[in-house]
């Protein structure tokens, strides 16, 4: 449930005032949303909404910017149009945690600057949203956790400050999986204790099956970030964060474009962490062009002194990734096809033998054959196969498919010799550091205190699915377990990067690897390398789709037909290769143009 919050920069806590749905839905239907919301948030006088022949639905950042430049619309009017859509559809989707109560004040100030001839940057006066684990001093940053429900941080995240410096209006905080999905094993994506479940606009119904009948959506929104609000044009684009798949997955599930950058490309300072080894913010948008604009605004022109990793990749000239938007970029581009596991079922080497894993269903394979035909027609050089050495490695101990991330109680301390402790160790190290940065604003002072708070507040809705991930993280000793962590992290990089993506790209002189869906999320995240996902098709919900899919005990009740789910493709490269990936993704997007708005939310 979205909330409008009070804001007092001197207060330690900020209690909620009223629900967004109760305050905005009636006025939106009456066409008076602007005046009513302004009254709620700022106590301003009622004003008649300006009539403007402009629609925000599926409208690009470039087209919105042109309309602003031509005085066909103001930023205040843009905010009203977006709030009208939020009021109309939010009850069905639960895409928002908090709406910024200062949006009209901010829009007015940016309109005044524009009238005076001063433009801050490429997002001047354009509303965007942040995942609710990213600091903004004008709203709470909750992470979806009850313990942080009233936490207004003492400083902006670096990326938030950079977006504001580019002129962006931060209109809202988006739904997310609680603490970026490092709380419990088996918790549905886009669920948190504070606001419940998020719903997917392509099928916004609850799962009716007994095994999944806890309120979750029938079609996953992806997680832990949310692309729902961008999908239905609640704002122009949004910022997600990823440790492993949490930008790519919600982008894919919503038929959006997501850029998971090289770790360090965008500062993580002021973002609730899991592990600094893999955490990265990144843009989620409806087009490659919009995502490129967002990435440039988020990155900044110089490294962030609060995040040493930001020295890794130099920004492009003027932070302008749109310079790489070339519809002919596929001509001569060398695209590798990693068949083993990602396309074809593969039995990884193991002393005892293993069952084949991975591979595509027939309908997915048909889609990927179509994609390959498009790439060839656009002049790409397809290297097929281009196998990733660590995926086909014969030594079981050096095969990436046998080297997972430790999670859950089954891989608690003492049972974690054959998996990487990077997540749980990183959570113990980095989460406590983040809490310390909050000073006296911190509701709890340590991961241990958070776990204790959750247990004490279970009746209020905390830890519905338990907190096994927090438990196994808290048992880590930052000093005592450092040697295993460092060894595990070296192996992560060896198998995902050195003997993985780096090796295949170097061997075949590739510009990018093409993956079905968002299947490169794990190997790309472990390496810290960039991936861009682009929408392409819609497929029936099969085994593993939606909320479990399939037959037998997982069969849908008679008469219930799940709607088709988005299915896209991902382009992955090596460190700092975002400019080339953006060019390739844009050329593919322009050759296919499969994105369209969800018909249930016109």
Q: Could you give the residue numbers annotated as active site? A: 131, 220, 246
Write out the two tokens for 419. Answer: 């998996």
Write out the two tokens for 182. Answer: 């490092």
Peptide bond into 385 cis (omega under 30): yes
d(Cα 76, Cα 96) in Å, to the nearest integer?
Answer: 20
Asked if 453 and 444 count as a contact pair (C-beta separation under 8 A), the reply is yes
d(Cα 471, Cα 465) in Å, to the nearest integer?
Answer: 13
Asked if 279 and 313 count as a contact pair (C-beta separation under 8 A), the reply is no
Q: Which residues contact 275 (CB under 8 A, 6 or more apart)?
A: 243, 422, 423, 425, 426, 427, 429, 430
Run of H or E including 242: strand 238-242
d(Cα 207, Cα 219) in Å, to the nearest integer?
Answer: 8
d(Cα 27, Cα 34) in Å, to the nearest integer?
Answer: 8
Pairing of the two strands 334-336 and 381-383:
parallel
Asked if 336 and 383 count as a contact pair (C-beta separation under 8 A), the reply is yes
Closest CA to 595 of 110, 252, 256, 90: 256
Closest CA to 501 of 489, 488, 515: 515
Pairing of the two strands 334-336 and 512-516:
parallel
List, as own/partner pairs, every contact residues 3-12 make where C-beta atoms lie below 8 angstroms and the sequence separation is at least 24, other chains included.
3/97, 3/98, 3/99, 4/40, 4/41, 4/98, 4/99, 4/101, 5/98, 5/101, 5/139, 5/140, 6/101, 7/101, 7/102, 7/138, 7/139, 7/152, 9/137, 11/152, 12/440, 12/441
d(Cα 522, Cα 496) in Å, to the nearest integer?
Answer: 9
d(Cα 570, Cα 357) in Å, to the nearest integer?
Answer: 20
Cα R_g (the chain), whole angstroms: 23
Run of H or E including 172: strand 169-174
d(Cα 378, Cα 511) in Å, to the nearest integer?
Answer: 15
d(Cα 312, Cα 402) in Å, to the nearest integer?
Answer: 29
List, as own/partner pairs, every contact residues 315-324 make where C-beta atoms lie below 8 angstroms and the sequence separation is at least 24, other chains included.
316/579, 320/296, 321/292, 321/293, 321/295, 321/296, 321/578, 321/579, 321/582, 322/289, 322/292, 322/293, 322/296, 324/292, 324/579, 324/580, 324/582, 324/583, 324/586
What are the backbone dihedrals phi and psi of residue 77, each rounded to the nearest 5 degrees, phi first?
A: -65, -35
Pairing of the two strands 191-192 and 196-197:
antiparallel
């Amino acid at each position: 449930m979205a909330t409008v919050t009070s804001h007092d920069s001197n207060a330690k806590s900020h209690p909620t005032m009223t629900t967004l749905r109760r305050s905005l839905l009636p006025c939106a239907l009456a066409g008076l949303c602007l005046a009513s919301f302004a009254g709620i948030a700022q106590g301003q006088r009622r004003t008649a909404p300006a009539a403007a022949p402009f629609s925000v639905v599926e409208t690009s950042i470039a087209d919105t910017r042109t309309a602003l430049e031509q005085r066909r619309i103001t930023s205040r009017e843009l905010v009203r149009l977006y709030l009208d859509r939020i009021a109309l559809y939010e009850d069905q989707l639960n895409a928002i945690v908090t709406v910024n109560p200062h949006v009209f004040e901010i829009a007015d100030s940016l309109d005044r600057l524009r009238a005076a001839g001063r433009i801050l940057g490429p997002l001047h006066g354009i509303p965007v949203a942040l995942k609710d684990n990213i600091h903004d001093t004008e709203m709470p940053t909750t992470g979806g956790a009850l313990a942080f429900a009233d936490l207004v941080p003492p400083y902006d995240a670096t990326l938030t400050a950079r977006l504001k410096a580019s002129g962006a209006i931060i209109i809202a905080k988006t739904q997310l999986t609680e603490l970026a999905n490092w709380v419990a094993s088996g918790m549905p994506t886009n669920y948190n204790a504070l606001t419940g479940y998020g719903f997917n606009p392509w099928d916004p119904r609850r799962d009716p099956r007994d095994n999944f009948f806890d309120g979750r959506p029938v079609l996953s929104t992806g997680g832990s970030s949310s692309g729902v609000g961008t999908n239905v044009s609640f704002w122009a684009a949004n910022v997600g964060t990823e440790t492993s798949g949490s930008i790519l997955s919600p982008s894919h599930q919503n038929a959006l474009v997501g850029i998971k950058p090289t770790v360090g490309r965008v500062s993580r300072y002021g973002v609730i962490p899991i592990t600094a080894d893999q955490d990265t913010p990144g843009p989620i948008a409806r087009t490659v062009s919009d995502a490129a604009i967002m990435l440039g605004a988020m990155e900044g022109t110089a490294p962030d002194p609060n995040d040493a990793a930001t020295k890794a990749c130099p920004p492009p000239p003027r932070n302008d990734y749109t310079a790489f938007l070339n519809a002919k970029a596929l001509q001569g581009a060398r695209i590798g096809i990693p068949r083993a596991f990602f396309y074809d079922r593969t039995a990884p080497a193991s002393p005892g033998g293993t069952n084949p894993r991975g591979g595509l269903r027939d309908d997915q394979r048909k889609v990927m054959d179509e994609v390959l035909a498009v790439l060839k027609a656009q002049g790409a050089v397809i290297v097929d196969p281009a196998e990733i050495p660590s995926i086909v490695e014969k030594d079981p101990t050096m095969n990436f498919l046998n080297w997972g991330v430790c999670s859950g109680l089954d891989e608690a301390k003492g049972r974690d010799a054959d998996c990487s402790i990077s997540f749980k160790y990183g959570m113990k190290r980095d989460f406590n550091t983040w809490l310390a940065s909050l000073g006296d604003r911190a509701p709890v002072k340590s991961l241990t205190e958070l776990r204790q708070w959750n247990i004490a507040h279970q009746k209020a809705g905390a830890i519905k699915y338990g907190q096994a991930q927090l438990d196994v993280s808290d048992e880590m000793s930052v000093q005592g377990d450092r040697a295993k962590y460092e060894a595990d992290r070296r192996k992560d990089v060896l198998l995902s990067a050195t003997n993985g993506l780096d090796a295949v790209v170097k061997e075949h002189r590739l510009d990018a690897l093409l993956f079905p869906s968002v299947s490169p999320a794990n190997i790309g995240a472990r390496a810290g390398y960039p991936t861009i996902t682009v929408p392409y098709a819609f497929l029936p919900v099969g085994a593993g789709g939606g909320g479990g899919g399939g037959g037998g005990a997982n069969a849908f009740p008679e008469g219930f037909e799940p709607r088709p789910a988005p299915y896209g493709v991902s382009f992955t490269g090596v460190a700092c290769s975002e400019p080339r990936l953006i060019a390739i993704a844009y050329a593919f997007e322009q050759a296919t143009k499969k994105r369209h708005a969800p018909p249930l939310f016109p």
